[in-house]
A = this chain, B = another copy of it.
Amino acid sequence: MGLVGAMNERFLKACRREAVDCTPVWFMRQAGRYMPEYQAIRAKHSILEVCKTPELAAQVTLQPIERFSLDAAIIFADLLLPLEPMGLRFDFEEGEGPVIHNPIRDRAAVERLRVVDGGELDYVADAIRQARRALAGRVPLIGFAGAPFTLASYAIEGGGSRHYIETKQFMYREPEAWHRLLDKLARVVTGYLRHQIQAGAQAVQVFDSWVGCLSPDDYAEYVLPHVRVIFDGLKHEGVPLIHFGTGTATLLRLMREAGGDVIGVDWRVHLDEAWEMIGHDAAIQGNLDPVVLFAPLHEIERRVEEILKRAAGRPGHIFNLGHGILPNTPVETVAATVDLVHKLSQR
């Protein structure tokens, strides 16, 4: 970091589809379990403690920035945080993921949910302010939130899911309550992200991680209108908006319709074909399979090259994984991959 005070603008420029010297790169879950310095913090604090203690959240946010030549930081937080002030109680059970103790199973439970404004999650805004100060302009800071469908799936299933039976059943059997639930979630997420932007987030990403379990028709009918509320609500905030999901090859046009200056795609789709579907008037983020980071370096290089070839030097490509970094990913491979992206994409 020789250039003190010179902000690395690659990521924000690529979001705006402006020319860059090389392709910017960041990784979802880049602050996480695969890093020993993260594990050292987590040995002393639960996930929720880290999220709710702005000093710790900011510290963890900076860890991958100190270690790798990444072009953006993303605030450390959890997708489920907004559900708590809305009235859901949850814990993270070791190795099991989140468990919600009072999942939503009927209309009455939807009615009881409180539509909170971002203020009730001020600890995230504080973490953003602290992380911005600690970053000191080195790279931009991304804020984020879960999308209504993905949040609803946790709220209804009571945790992660394989087939989303409870979620879809609720959607099919109680469409009015479903729309009421997604409307509440969309309003909360919009306020939450607006607070993050006001606190200093220089871009925000909406994670609809599990939306790929839906048919395109169900997405259009039960999900899209609520996602649009969020993107419409934030489009005058002056920061790039990223819209991400996995397994979305058949949803990309609809996701773009719902909103987002940047669409995040996973490895199941060729980047150029995805970009064609999204339209070249949007930027694209992706799309290396996170498991490729377990491969030997020459295999990683081959795949990074292929992705860059498909991006064809067109302005508006942000290199990322197609989903979050997995636990046990080798740290040295992450470092090497970041450098590879920069080296192979030199203009």
Q: Which residues of chain B come closer than 8 Å to A289, judged between CB atoms?
A: 168, 215, 218
Q: Are A291 and B215 in contact (CB under 8 A)?
A: no
The answer to the question of A292 belonging to the interface, with a C-beta cut-off of 8 Å to chain B, is yes
User: Nearest-CB distance from A97 to chain B (Å)?
Assistant: 10
Q: Are A268 and B172 in contact (CB under 8 A)?
A: no
**In the complex with contacts A215-B268, A217-B306, A163-B292 CB distance below 8 A:** no
The answer to the question of A198 belonging to the interface, with a C-beta cut-off of 8 Å to chain B, is no
Q: Are A168 and B291 in contact (CB under 8 A)?
A: yes
**In the complex with contacts A250-B249, A269-B250, A270-B216, A326-B172 CB distance below 8 A:** no
Q: Which residues of chain B come closer than 8 Å to A299, judged between CB atoms?
A: 172
Q: Are B250 and A163 in contact (CB under 8 A)?
A: no
Q: Which residues of chain B come closer than 8 Å to A306, judged between CB atoms?
A: 217
The answer to the question of A68 belonging to the interface, with a C-beta cut-off of 8 Å to chain B, is no
**In the complex with contacts A168-B289, A291-B165, A215-B267 CB distance below 8 A:** yes
The answer to the question of A38 belonging to the interface, with a C-beta cut-off of 8 Å to chain B, is no
Q: Among A212, A250, A292, which residue has the most Cβ atoms of chain B within 10 A?
A: A250
By beta carbon, the residue of chain B nearest A169 is B294
By beta carbon, the residue of chain B nearest A327 is B165
Residues of A in contact with B, size category: 20 to 34
Q: Are A326 and B267 in contact (CB under 8 A)?
A: no
User: Nearest-CB distance from A38 to chain B (Å)?
Assistant: 19
Contact indicator per residue, chain A 183-218, by CB within 8 Å of chain B (1) or not (0): 000000000000000000000000000001111111
The answer to the question of A44 belonging to the interface, with a C-beta cut-off of 8 Å to chain B, is no
Q: Are A294 and B216 in contact (CB under 8 A)?
A: no
Q: Are A292 and B249 in contact (CB under 8 A)?
A: no
Chain A, range 260-296, C-beta contacts under 8 Å to B: 267-270, 273, 289-292, 294-296
The answer to the question of A123 belonging to the interface, with a C-beta cut-off of 8 Å to chain B, is no
The answer to the question of A159 belonging to the interface, with a C-beta cut-off of 8 Å to chain B, is no
By beta carbon, the residue of chain B nearest A212 is B268
Q: Are B163 and A291 in contact (CB under 8 A)?
A: yes
The answer to the question of A313 belonging to the interface, with a C-beta cut-off of 8 Å to chain B, is no
The answer to the question of A247 belonging to the interface, with a C-beta cut-off of 8 Å to chain B, is yes
Query: Sorted from nearest, which 10 A-B pairs have the closest CB atoms?
Result: A172-B295, A168-B291, A215-B267, A249-B249, A169-B294, A249-B250, A250-B269, A172-B299, A250-B268, A165-B291
What are 6 contact pairs spanning A and B, CB under 8 A?
A165-B294, A172-B291, A215-B267, A215-B289, A247-B247, A249-B268
